[in-house]
Each structure stands twice: as structure tokens, then as C-alpha cells.
Amino acid sequence: MESDNRNEIFQADYKILDAAYVVLQNMDNSNLPIKTQFEELYLGYKKLLRQSIQLINIADRQQDRLYNLQIDITEKNRELEALCITDGLTGIANRRCFDEILVQEYARHARTGAELSVIMLDVDYFKAFNDNYGHINGDECLRQVAAVIKSCTCRPADLVARYGGEEFACILPETNQGGAVAIGDNIRSSIMALAIPHAGSSVANQVTASLGVVTVNCISDGSAVDVVAKADELLYQAKLKGRNRLEFEKGSE
């Protein structure tokens, strides 16, 4: 008799079949009806055992498929979650991700007492850039700007996001005013170093950016929304004062 090592639970049945087969071979034809009945029982039992093994093997394969399907679903869910918090154009975090992380970081900094910094950044005269060079070049410009901002924020906890349109934002955990301003200045100069032509700009012949930087001491009953509002106000001041500049003011919650 052949045996299947994957189905050890049937080993006892195989032994019974082996014994029955030996008995069947040793039976003579003196009592043919009994031998015939015994042979029918033997063959029926053998067939039933084979079918049971086949069903178990099918169940095993289905279980393997189900396991692989669960892995695929888990992976797809991760990919979907990543897409939900990633900006499709630039590949960095999107507004939704920024808002969620800022709330989390604000609460964490309220517990630890560390300073939290946020940078709001706007590409200068970007509408004029699109009008002069087209939206395809405009998209490429935003991708390059996003990559530069990302390269200027090296720590794992730092977050760079596309806030909307040509506006970007950075969350800098446990970063004081001096550190945040230094990062902001590096971002501004690195964007200029891209030397992307911008004939429609009133401040330079290349793409530039204006930045607002705020540093706060978070408190338990404060709001992350207020941090963004302060950074946005400083960004507005940078635009009013001529663009291609950085404005900062140390805030407190």
C-alpha cells in the first residue's frame, strides 16, 4: 500500500487495509460468497480512504489559498493607506497626513514640554509660472521643489507635506527657533539653487519661495490649528515684504 506522509492521521487505516489485503490474498475460494463480500468491503474502504485523503488535500490547498489571499489583502490595505496619505504628484505626504501628524505631535510635545516648529512655504508667482511654461512644467517644478524640501529635513521624525497647490509645509518635532530658521533658510537657498527659469516672477529670474516659520511651546488645552495659522500669517508677511524670504516669530501656546 502507498502512504501519504502528509496524512499521518490515516496511518492506522493504512495498517488495517494492509492487514485486510493479506487476509484477502490468503483466502481460498472454498467460501466464495464470504470472500466476495470481504473483497467488496476492502475495496469500498480503500476507496473511501482515498477520497478522504483527496478531500483533506483539497482543504489544505484551499487553506493555503486563503492564507495567501489574506496576505494579499493586508498588503493592498497598506498600499491603500499609503495612497490616502501621499500626494500623488510629488510623492510626499498630503494635507490629510500633515493635519493628522501635527495633531499627534502637538499632543506629544504638550506632554514632553519640547518645542515644536512648523514651516509653511509657498512657491513665488507659481500661477505666472504655469501661464508661461505650462502645467506639465509646473508639475515638474513642484516635484523638484518637494524633493529639495525633503532633502533639507533629514531626521526620521520630520514631515514634509504638500499642503495644497504650490504650498508646502514641514513639521519639525523637538526643534527650537534657531534650528527651524536654519532649516528654512536652507530650503529657500536650495530651491534657488535649482535654477529653474521663471520669467514671470517679479522677484527673480528663477523659481523662488517664501516661508513662514513658527516655533511653539505646546500646552494640553492648545490647538494644532493655531500653529498652522501662525505659520501661515508669517508666510503672508514674507510675501508682503517682497517674497523670496523667510519670516519667523517665536510663538507660545
CA torsion, ordered 28, 31, 36, 39, to nearest 10 deg = -50
Grid cell 537657498 is found at 189
What cell was used for 177? 527657533
Decide if 211 contacts 132 (C-beta within 8 A).
no
CB 194 within 8 A of CB 209: no
Catalytic residue among 105, 115, 166, 247: 166
174 labelled catalytic = no
Task: Give CA–CA dist 140/163, Å, rounded.
Answer: 17
In this structure, the strands spanning 167-172 and 246-250 are unpaired
Q: CA–CA separation, 27 vs 173, rounded Å? A: 88
DSSP code per residue over 62-124: HHHHHHHHHHHHHHHHHHHHHHHTB-TTTSSB-HHHHHHHHHHHHHHHHHH--EEEEEEEEET
Active site residues: 166
